[in-house]
């Protein structure tokens, strides 16, 4: 399994490299000016604000200068770095895992929530304030196996995944402007972190080939693992104990616990990112930057905010953006391209 | 507070830089050969084993080659990177904090465990299987304040600290051979992490100036913080909820949660490091290296293993070292120097 995992990751990395080459070839023709680090961004306010911030904090001797070790940038994942519709990738994984396993696991198939899922009864799954049915499905697919087993399942699923509307693989669902932004920040000695409500174990399977973000720079929701020696060999068994949900006020909590210092730049797309935007930008002794990706492009991607049909509700954070001076990206007008490879 | 914290860290960093210069000046005369990256190590088996491992995993094209992103090295702190006697630094901090605060805080002074501490009654503090009195002292000094407040207290205490036997500051209590080892590994593109039973918040106050290890590469014991807006300003309040103890089997658990991949090199000094040594070296598909610092030098430092008078019991891990091929450092014979500045 380990070997297949490495092989898959190497393959995913090759795909990414190919995308990078395609992007460079394409970018050369359409970049507004030679050497533009953000060629997929329109020459509108958000791009100007990003470049201004980065140039200020990296200019040695200026009052805004921030030492390299403090250049921490945090990114939400679903809806900020890649497409979260029609359902976040991790939910799609959980649903497909149940469908794959149920025929061979009678005990699993007998669970009422599994039966609801197999019958397409989302109402039952999402009932209750805490969506207990959905949590049960997540527990059934994310605990009880070793971390190596889990990684192998995620890798296999990811390799086969195609987006239902765009018929694209995983790497092709990332936002090209955000990929450029990640690289631009890293080229200016920022350390880029994912801070997402998604499971840390799930995201760490592909963060490096997809975003060039290593596992140790992925902060996500967690449940504790248990260390065991099985036949003399160490394994880590995934449990549902000590669950930490890295969303809403949990995001600054996760940032403190995993990173241990305050970011100076924060990128999100929903009310779940509001607390980490506040933590990054309010009363920070260093210059700071906040940005919200507003999904306004039903044609090239999806349009949603106050009344989403799925994830990504954006109301209070959008309201606060005005008073805090957070940059709001109008996906339709501010991005020349959305995906690495447009159809 | 932030300003004083930065100032202190800058000062600590200057001290470290000075130590570095002193070390280089001294090292130039005594290094066994020109350009020796480990001049404070005797030319005995441990040094040879370290160099052999590093040369193998960095030799491109060899079967032992490990890609840069997987060169993760984990270090215990107390007793592995610096002196843990007569008491670990964090316990000394907690005791001094109680002594400093008790005269001005009647409620604190009324606590039976505080009274035991002030009376020097360690027997009461350490009673019970879980040392409940000591845990109470830790809770009183590590929770109930904001993270900024806590950092300022640690910084102020650290700046004033002198070791009771050696009359040395904090940075001068680190082991010079281990400082050289950290730098040698980093020069070979290893990412160095601390994985310690100490509190993450405590260690992150000084890990960067003392070891050049940034906060995000410090894995330690944690309790959850709570995000609040106080008068519109974000703060993180330290609590005693969701305690995670990063020791024993908790170390591989912490490594998985915070780093998300398996180390290839692990350095410890006690039975509390045994599980992470096992996790690093047994059944690892990559070449791996385990090392135990054995405290055998009562003259230059301390001698302890099976019957320590304080922390650092070393029995089962030393036994397992033989069968696993872990390198054991005899501090007396294998280290030419112990501290950066010898008296």
ipTM of this complex prediction, to 2 decimal places: 0.89
The predicted model gives A254-282 an average pLDDT of 98
Q: Mean pLDDT over residues A91-101, rounded?
A: 96
Q: What are phi and psi of B219, to 5 degrees?
A: -105, 125
Please, what are the domains in chain B?
2-87+173-334 (3.40.50.1000), 89-160 (no CATH)
Q: What is the pLDDT of residue B34?
A: 58
What percentage of residues in chain A have a pLDDT greater than 70?
Answer: 90
**Which residues in chain B have their CB less than 8 angstroms from residue A256's CB?**
147, 225, 236
DSSP B286: S
**Can you give the pTM of this predicted structure?**
0.90
Contacts of B259 in chain A (CB under 8 A): 215-216
Distance of residue B129 Cα from the nearest chain A Cα, in angstroms: 22
d(CA A70, CA A39): 27
B252 contacts chain A (CB < 8 A)? yes
Gap from A201 CA to chain B (nearest CA, Å): 7
Query: What is the pLDDT averaged over residues A81-86?
Result: 96
Closest by Cβ to B236, choosing from A69, A224, A256: A256
Over the stretch A152-188, which tens digit does the pLDDT of each residue have?
999 999 999 999 999 999 889 999 999 999 999 999 9
Q: In whole angstroms, what is the distance from residue A254 CA to residue A219 CA?
A: 7
The minimal CB distance from B256 to the residues A225, A250, A283 is found for A225
Residues 211 through 240 of chain B touching chain A, CB cutoff 8 Å: 214-218, 222, 224-227, 229, 232-234, 236
Measured between beta carbons, which residues in chain A are less than 8 angstroms from residue B232? 282
Cβ separation of B216 and A191 shorter than 8 Å?
Answer: yes
Tell me how long chain A is: 343
Residue A341 confidence (pLDDT): 86
Other Cβ atoms less than 10 A from the Cβ of B316: the count is 11
Q: How does pLDDT run along chain B (343 residues), one tens digit per residue? A: 333 333 334 444 344 444 434 444 444 334 444 599 999 999 999 999 999 999 999 999 999 999 999 999 999 999 999 999 998 999 999 999 999 999 999 999 999 999 999 999 989 998 888 888 999 999 999 999 999 999 999 999 999 999 999 999 988 999 999 999 999 999 999 999 999 999 999 999 999 999 999 999 999 999 999 999 999 999 999 999 999 999 999 999 999 999 999 999 999 999 999 999 999 999 999 999 999 999 999 999 999 999 988 889 999 999 999 999 999 999 999 999 999 987 6
B185-188 contacts at long range (C-beta below 8 A, 24 or more positions apart): B185/B54, B185/B71, B185/B73, B185/B265, B186/B212, B187/B37, B188/B54, B188/B58, B188/B71
Bridge-based pairing state of the strands A303-304 and A289-296: antiparallel
**CB within 8 Å: A200 and B260:** yes
Higher pLDDT, B24 or A290: A290
Interchain contact B70–A (C-beta under 8 A): no
Q: Which of A19-33, A257-271, A276-290 has the lowest mean pLDDT?
A: A19-33
User: Is pLDDT at A104 greater than 50 in this prediction?
Assistant: yes
* pLDDT, position B343: 61
* List of chain B residues whose C-beta atoms are within 8 Å of the C-beta of residue A3: 285
Cβ-Cβ contacts under 8 Å, B256 against chain A: 147, 225, 236
């Amino acid at each position: 399994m380990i070997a297949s995992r490495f092989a898959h990751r190497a393959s995913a990395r090759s795909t990414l490299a190919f995308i990078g080459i395609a992007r460079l070839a394409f970018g050369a023709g359409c970049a507004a000016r030679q050497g533009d680090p953000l060629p997929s961004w329109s020459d509108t306010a958000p791009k100007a604000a990003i470049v201004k911030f980065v140039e200020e904090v990296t200019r040695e001797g200026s009052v805004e200068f921030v030492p390299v070790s403090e250049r921490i940038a945090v990114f939400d994942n679903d809806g900020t770095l890649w497409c979260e519709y029609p359902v976040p990738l991790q939910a799609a994984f959980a649903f497909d895992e149940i469908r794959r396993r149920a025929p061979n696991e009678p005990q699993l198939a007998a669970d009422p929530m599994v039966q609801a899922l197999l019958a397409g009864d989302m109402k039952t799954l999402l009932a209750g304030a805490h969506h207990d049915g959905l949590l049960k499905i997540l527990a059934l697919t994310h605990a009880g196996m070793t971390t190596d087993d889990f990684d192998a399942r995620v890798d296999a699923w990811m390799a086969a995944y195609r987006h239902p509307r765009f018929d694209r693989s995983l790497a092709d669902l990332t936002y090209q402007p955000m990929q450029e932004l990640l690289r631009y920040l890293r080229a200016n000695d920022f350390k880029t972190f994912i801070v997402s409500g998604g499971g840390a174990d799930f995201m760490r399977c592909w963060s490096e080939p997809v975003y060039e973000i290593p596992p140790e720079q992925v902060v996500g929701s967690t449940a504790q693992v248990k260390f065991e020696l099985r036949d003399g060999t160490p394994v880590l068994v995934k449990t549902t104990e000590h669950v930490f949900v890295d969303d809403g006020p949990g995001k600054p909590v996760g940032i403190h616990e995993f990173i241990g210092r305050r970011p100076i730049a924060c990128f999100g797309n929903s009310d779940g990112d509001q607390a980490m935007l506040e933590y990054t930008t309010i009363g920070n002794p260093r210059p700071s930057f906040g940005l919200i990706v507003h999904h306004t492009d039903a044609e090239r991607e999806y349009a949603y905010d106050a009344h989403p049909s799925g994830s990504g509700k954006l109301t209070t954070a959008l309201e606060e953006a005005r008073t805090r001076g957070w940059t709001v990206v109008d996906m339709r007008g501010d991005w020349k391209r959305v995906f690495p490879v447009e159809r």
